[in-house]
Structure 1
Amino acid sequence: MAEVLEKIAQNREEKIQKLGFHFGFSIPKERKAPLCPPRFDPNAPLMIAEIKRSSPSAGHIGEIKDPIALARNYLNNGANVISVLTEQDYFGGSLADLMAVKNAFKNASVLRKDFIQSPEEIAISYLAGADLVLLIVAMFIGDSKKEAIFQNILLECQKYALTPLLEIHNEEECQFALRFVNPANPSASPILGINSRNLRTFVIDKPKALHLRTKIPAPIKTIFESGIQSSFDGYLAGSFGFDGMLCGSYLVASKETGKNLQHLIKSFTLGKKHQNPFYPSVFASIYSNPTPLVKICGITDIDDAYTASEAGADMIGFILTPKSPRYISAKDVKLMSKAMNKLYPNVLKIGVITENKEELIIAKELFKEGFLDAIQLHAINPDTPDIYAGFDLKEADFNFYACSNFENLCDYPKEGVSPFVLLDSKSPQTGGSGKSIATSELKKLKNLGKKLFIAGGIGLDNIDEILCLQPKMLDINSKIEQTPGKKDKIKLKEIIHKIKTSHQLGSKETR
């Protein structure tokens, strides 16, 4: 169990011995409000908005003098469930907050979010007005006695008809939690909450949490937790098929709580509508697959698209910048995309643009019409990685990723909302130059824990050296061409074969 959990659990145990399971609060002998289990809507997220004053990772988040007023704000702006932190010493909450909120909004669903570790706490939760309770799987896994306690807690939840929200952080915890969920009857099963925060390091890894969703059967209800910092995070959660979100710090710390909540809900709904394999494929490459994804960029005719697809390419790239010698019009992208979908529906189509408003508008339309699976934002400014062509990417409702012209560590973008960063070499052309990035600089990034997505000057002459860096995605273009925009079929097939079989030939990959 992570150290922070051990400290919190030990502290709670000492307080329970001293004060009782009610922690010194006056709990009614009978429940005063009706039981309101969460209601899932296939057309909208189950939005769990949280009353949260502080946390070990963020410290003080916001002053909440009136939890009832905050709960009212949440409910008026689309929240389905109010989450109330009831842990006092680390999160500044209490059972008094929970009782106040439930008594004020008797027909609202209320989640008790705490570090519950005993079956006796379920009766207290019920009497205080909770409709759901959070159970952190990491507190019970790997110990037979604790696992027995966990099962008894679930039995108590059934006795009082409280809905358990089982919080997981990794695949081991996921497999443990799935033992207690019935996919054939999800309405009578616990909900799974995937937390993107590592409980040991407090580092947020949203791609890992999103990828974990792909390990869970679709009928099981899932909630995305932690690390929500913008509307785009809502879009990502929706696009991965989550059924809802739990959001606290982002809303509590905001001066526009209601507006941000509405935007999250809208973005989630659009993400659900735009589900496609792009991000799942990329995150699977990061966490599961032994070989990198291959993108063949600068495609200008259907023959090359077919050749690349047949050879095993995962993506093809269309350059939508008119000044590029590999430019392809939106009209031709539509025709080629339709043709590809008939023969190679699993090959992803990527639109590549430069920082131009007109190009961004065209690419967004192609994405929303289904002709593109994602947009590559080429030559993004590393100092302002969330603004592109005047557009705030934190509000994006489309699949995209940043591409940075990279020569050394100073060129790596500051932390932004892009789920990953493709690195291309620096050159006057900004792309398609055939120039490679120095592997010494890429190694420095790798040593910092960065996942490598590499473009620029990748060819048969240097592919073995690049593969030793264990990249997650390779973007190949000019070095396998006869002329700009026309691929050399022999080189194209050979380099894809090398990449796709590298793990079988004793490469140094250690995933």
Structure 2
Amino acid sequence: MVEVLKKITQKRDLKISNLGFGFGQNIPEKREVPLCPPNFDPNMPLMIAEIKRCSPSAGQIGEITNPIKLAQTYLNNGAKVISILTEEDYFNGTLADLISVKNTFKNATILRKDFIQYAEEIKISYLAGADMILIIIAMFMGEKTKEEELQKILSECKSYSLTPLFEIHNQEECDFALKLNPSILGINSRNLNTFDIDKNKALNLKTFIPGHIKTIFESGIDSSFDGYLVGSFGFDGMLCGSYLVKNEGKNLPNLIKAYQKGKKQKSSFFPQIFKSLYGTPYPLIKICGITNIDDAIACAEAGADLIGFIMADQSPRYQDQKSIKEISKALSRLYPQILKVGVIMNKKDSLIRAKELFKEGILDGLQLHSYDSSSNEFGGFNLKEADFNFYVCVNFENISDYPEETISPFVLLDSKTTLGGGSGKSISLTELQKLKNTIKNLFIAGGIGEDNIHDILALKPKMLDINSKIESSIGKKDINKLKNIINTIKLASK
């Protein structure tokens, strides 16, 4: 069991021995409230809104003197389930919150979120008014006695008709949980060893879960765009605490709306990218500066994953909307798996044009070039509210240029020049290595060619964006150079 869980469960053990399985709370002798299992709607997320005062990672989140009032706001704004932290020492929760909320909202679905350890806790949860129980898989792996206790817990859940929400964090836990034939799996993006958040890894884990199992994304949600991402991966719902508590649930409608847009959008942009990032030994290959159909098809035949259209009018490789539509439609008919990216500068009109092409299905995603990391705005638009596929690109010269925080799922690095991109200038390998030492994944553009590809591959990048160094003339790719560099990348990475 991971260290954080061990500390929590040891303290709970001590309290249970002193106070009983009800932790000294006044638990009803008989359940007087109806049982309300979760109700999934294909057009709406199962939005699980959490009453959460604090946590070991975030510290104090909200005082929440009136959990009934907060629950009412959640329900009014579209929540389908109220999650109530009942762990006392690390999350400042209590079973009294659960009892009072359920007694007030009798027909609401209530999740008891705690570190359930024993089968006897299930009856207590039922009597208190819980409809769902969180089961943290990491607590029951690796020890025969723990696995036997889990089976007892699940048997008790069945006898009281309570719905277990199995929580997993990684592939090992996923494999373990799937053997239990779960109806609902929650994927938590927080690492219980370090408490770090890895949304991309959690999102990608969804692809390993059979479609008949309902999935809930947990932890790390702090913008509407996160809701969009969750929807685009096909999750059935979200469990959100800190983000909602800090805004008293007022941001819930926007989160739900963003999820719905993500669920409806046709491009599998991020699922396809993350599948490659986590499932193949070689980096994603993007060929940028495409100006004609022949080059686009050659890229696809050679094995590229993405192609890029430059929509910055100052670039010699600039493509207007009409040209992009023609190339994109022709390529999609022959190679629908190739992702098409619009590369734009930090201008409002460019963003508007690119978003139009995205909504039409001409582009699968946008590369936001020359992103200013001092804010989450691009082209005057707050990216936290984005309902389209994008990633940011920063001009990188040294480690200080890398954004400390960004809403973007990943950051592409391009060389810092007066042109902003497409100059053929490479980023210093020394500076890239320094960055590699501080973060796990590198996404690299700028001056990548046959002369330096082996040095760049030694950094084990996750994505390479290749342009000017494989051209026979500006805007025209050299097909032999194109094939050679892609072959080199794939052979070197085996």
TM-score, scaled relative to structure 2: 0.99
2:221 is the counterpart of 1:228: yes
- Stretches of 4+ moved more than 4 A in 1? none
Q: Post-superposition shift, 1:163?
A: 0.5
Which residue is 1:496 aligned to? Answer: 486
Q: Is the 8 A contact 1:98 1:129 kept in 2?
A: yes
Map 1:40-189 → 2, pairs under 5 A? 40-181=40-181, 189=182
What CA RMSD, in Å, does the superposition of the two structures yield over aligned residues?
A: 1.0
Q: Is the 8 A contact 2:277 2:284 kept in 1?
A: no
Distance 2:214 2:304 in 1: 34
2:229 is the counterpart of 1:241: no
Q: Post-superposition shift, 1:500?
A: 1.5
2:272 is the counterpart of 1:281: yes
Distance 2:144 2:176 in 1: 12
Q: Is the 8 A contact 1:77 1:262 kept in 2?
A: yes
Match of 1:402 among 385, 392, 402: 392
Q: Post-superposition shift, 1:383?
A: 2.3
Moved more, 362-371 or 101-110: 362-371
Q: Post-superposition shift, 1:258?
A: 3.6
Which residue is 1:201 aligned to? Answer: 194
Which residue is 1:319 aligned to? Answer: 310
2:244 is the counterpart of 1:251: yes
Distance 2:284 2:418 in 1: 27
Match of 1:393 among 383, 401, 419: 383
Q: Is the 8 A contact 2:70 2:249 kept in 1?
A: no
Match of 2:206 among 193, 213, 224: 213
Q: Post-superposition shift, 1:382?
A: 2.8
Distance 1:147 1:223 in 2: 23
Q: Is the 8 A contact 1:241 1:275 kept in 2?
A: no
SS state of the match for residue 259, structure 1? coil
SS state of the match for residue 454, structure 1? strand
Which residue is 2:448 aligned to? Answer: 458
Distance 1:280 1:292 in 2: 15
Deviations along 1:178-230, one digit per CA (max 9) or x if unpaired, are 1112xxxxxxx431101111111111110111111111112210100001111
Q: Post-superposition shift, 1:275?
A: 4.8
SS state of the match for residue 366, structure 2? strand
Deviations along 1:64-118, one digit per CA (max 9) or x if unpaired, are 1111000000000000000001111111111110000000000000000000000
Distance 1:446 1:317 in 2: 25
Map 1:7-18 → 2, pairs under 5 A? 7-18=7-18
2:290 is the counterpart of 1:291: no
Q: Post-superposition shift, 1:38?
A: 0.4
Q: Structure 1: 5+ residue runs without aligned partners? A: 182-188, 505-511
AA at the equivalent of 2:429: T
Q: Post-superposition shift, 1:252?
A: 0.8
Q: Is the 8 A contact 1:180 1:190 kept in 2?
A: no
Which residue is 2:370 aligned to? Answer: 379
Distance 1:397 1:271 in 2: 7
SS state of the match for residue 343, structure 2? strand
Deviations along 1:437-456, one digit per CA (max 9) or x if unpaired, are 01110000110024100000
AA at the equivalent of 2:296: A
Q: Is the 8 A contact 2:373 2:406 kept in 1?
A: no
Q: Post-superposition shift, 1:397?
A: 0.4
Q: Post-superposition shift, 1:125?
A: 0.5
Distance 1:143 1:101 in 2: 36
Q: Is the 8 A contact 1:286 1:451 kept in 2?
A: no
Distance 2:440 2:169 in 1: 20
Distance 1:23 1:300 in 2: 68
Q: Is the 8 A contact 1:383 1:414 kept in 2?
A: no
Map 1:426-505 → 2, pairs under 5 A? 426-504=416-494
Q: Is the 8 A contact 1:350 1:372 kept in 2?
A: yes
Deviations along 1:105-149, one digit per CA (max 9) or x if unpaired, are 000000000000001111110111000000100100111110111
Which residue is 1:186 aligned to? Answer: none
Distance 2:204 2:23 in 1: 38
Q: Post-superposition shift, 1:341?
A: 1.2
Q: Post-superposition shift, 1:3?
A: 1.1
Alignment: residue pair count: 494
Q: Structure 2: 5+ residue runs without aligned partners? A: none
Q: Post-superposition shift, 1:416?
A: 1.0
Q: Post-superposition shift, 1:334?
A: 1.4
AA at the equivalent of 1:474: L
TM-score, scaled relative to structure 1: 0.95
